Amino acid sequence: MGTATIRDVAKQARVSLKTVSRVINHEGSVREETRERVMRAIEQLDYRPDLSARSLRSAKAYAIGLVYDNPNPYYIIAVQQGALAACREMGFGLQIHPCDSRAPKLAEELRDLAHRSRLAGLVLAPPMSERMALLRELAAYNIPLVRVISAAEDPRDGFPCVFVDDRDAAYAITAYLIQLGHVRIGFLWGGKQHRSSPERYKGYEKALQDYGVPLDQELVLEGDYAFDDGFRGARRLFGLPEPPTAIFGSNDEIAAGVLAAARAAGLHVPYDLSVAGFEDSPFSRHSWPSLTTSRQRTEVIAEHAARLLIAQIHGNDVENEGFSPELVVRGSTAPPRPRQ
């Protein structure tokens, strides 16, 4: 069987080519019964619009861009899959654009990308999404955008976003460790260029404060969202006169590095040391023992960001959406052993 065409869809749904086009483009001038008939025909025939040809034939663009600067392959795959799911359902193409978030002419680079590739708008991942100067420049170029950001509440700053409450999730992890009986809890930062890092630290700090646990700055180390930083940071904490009984890594990759350092030092996780991560990436499930973490649902967040952008492109009013990661308890945490 050959590839279905828009004419095949129109014939099966008993409508005109123009009506099929209106349904595909999500125009509001089609009766619901007709729209459903066209969608059934599209599904039955497995019709896929030729997005590049459609963009060339019209003044509209039918593709969006996903812009990111993140070395974590699990994060990249998740945001791509989420954005792609929304684009496929809503008849848009997706162009992936990795970039250097510190590039001095990033706004011009993204403007040229949007014009050259005929992109209708951009989904910005952190840390670009958190740079207000960049957002203002892109707005001046009239490029529709939606951001994925770390924020405890809706920023209401005029730029559409999907925001993730990292602070509340980090509070929940720290509170859980305290409830297990830990009072010396190490904290390993991620990269400070990401707003998620200070947000997760604030959650850790607030939980200690609320539970009356003194904050010991010896237990807090800066680093990046990387396995090696988790390993090195844990080794430094193990060398303290009074080492921690638990370590909270700002993401699962850091926490996996802590697990490796514990194993190298002959420590048994979770009985000698409890370890917690963040994000619920494959690192958390493939580690041994599997990591207590916070489920961030990156794929779902990216899908919602793409939907928000496409709704904005169609001229619809959009509201910012918020997500709060959920605590996931696994085998890497337990009450501390009584001191000998």
d(CA 159, CA 147): 8
Q: Residue 318 — pLDDT band, cuts 50, 70, 90? A: confident
> Does pLDDT of 154 surpass 80?
yes
Residue 60 pLDDT exceeds 60? no
Residue 302 has pLDDT above 90, yes or no: yes
Model confidence at 235, pLDDT cuts 50, 70, 90, reads very high
Say whether both 127 and 170 belong to one domain. no
Residues 210 and 259 in one domain: yes
Cα atoms found within 13 Å of the Cα of residue 303, Cβ hemisphere only: 12
Residues 174 and 197 in one domain: yes
Determine how many CB atoms are found less than 10 A away from the CB of residue 334: 20
Averaged pLDDT for residues 19-36: 76
> Taking the CB of residue 220, how many other CB atoms lie within 10 A of it?
18
Q: Report if residue 17 sits inside a domain.
A: yes
Q: Tokens representing 295?
A: 């489920």
Euclidean distance between CA atoms 178 and 193, whole angstroms: 28
Q: How far is CA 85 from CA 44, 108, 133, 140, in A?
A: 19, 28, 30, 29
Confidence (pLDDT) at 253: 93
> Phi and psi for 140 in degrees, rounded to 5?
-65, -25
For 184, the 3-state DSSP assignment is: coil
Q: What is the pLDDT of residues 249-300, one digit of tens each?
A: 999 999 999 999 999 999 999 999 999 999 998 888 888 999 999 998 999 9
- 288 and 304 part of one domain: no
Whether residue 211 lies inside any domain: the answer is: yes
Same-domain status, 155 and 304:
yes
**Domain containing residue 305:** 60-165+297-325
Q: Are 151 and 234 in a shared domain?
A: no
Give the lowest-confidence range in 49-63, 175-189, 249-263. 49-63
Both 181 and 286 in one domain: the answer is yes
| pLDDT in the model for residue 25 | 65
The mean per-residue pLDDT over the stretch 204-231 comes to: 96
Alpha carbons 150 and 133: distance in angstroms, whole number: 17
For residues 220 and 194, the model is more confident at: 220
Q: Does residue 332 fall inside a structural domain?
A: no
Q: Are residues 145 and 290 in the same domain?
A: no
What angle (nearest 5°) sits at the alpha carbon of residue 177, between those of residues 175 and 178? 65
pLDDT for the residue 31: 82
Count of Cβ atoms closer than 10 Å to residue 293 Cβ: 31
What's the whole-number mean pLDDT along residues 142-171? 93
Whether residues 77 and 152 fall in one domain: yes
Non-local (6+) Cβ contacts of 1 within 8 A are: none
Q: Average pLDDT, whole number, for the chain?
A: 89
90 and 142 in a single domain? The answer is yes
Instruction: Please report the pLDDT score of residue 192 as a whole number.
Output: 84
State the pLDDT confidence band at 9, using cuts at 50, 70 and 90: confident
Mean pLDDT of 307-336: 92
Please indicate, yes or no, if residue 16 is contained in any of the structural domains.
Answer: yes
Q: Are 295 and 326 in contact (CB under 8 A)?
A: yes
Q: Is residue 339 part of a domain?
A: no
* 336: in domain: no
Q: What is residue 246's predicted lDDT score, i.e. its pLDDT?
A: 98
Task: Locate 307 and state its tokens.
Answer: 């939907």
Number of domains in the chain: 3
| Residue bearing tokens 């003044």 | 59
**66 and 143 assigned to the same domain:** yes
Range with top average pLDDT, 173-187, 280-294, 315-329: 173-187
Range 67-85 average pLDDT: 87
Ranking 36-50, 90-104, 218-232 by mean pLDDT, the lowest is: 36-50
> Quick check: is 117 in a domain?
yes
Query: Looking at per-residue confidence, does 32 or 135 come out higher?
Result: 135
Of residues 68 and 21, the one with the higher pLDDT is 68
Looking only at the bridges linking them, the beta strands covering 326-328 and 293-295 are antiparallel
- With a cut of 60, say whether residue 34 has pLDDT above it: yes
> How many Å apart are CA 166 and CA 150, to the nearest integer?
6
Q: Are residues 205 and 267 in the same domain?
A: yes
CATH number of the domain bearing residue 222: 3.40.50.2300
> Is there a domain that residue 262 lies in?
yes
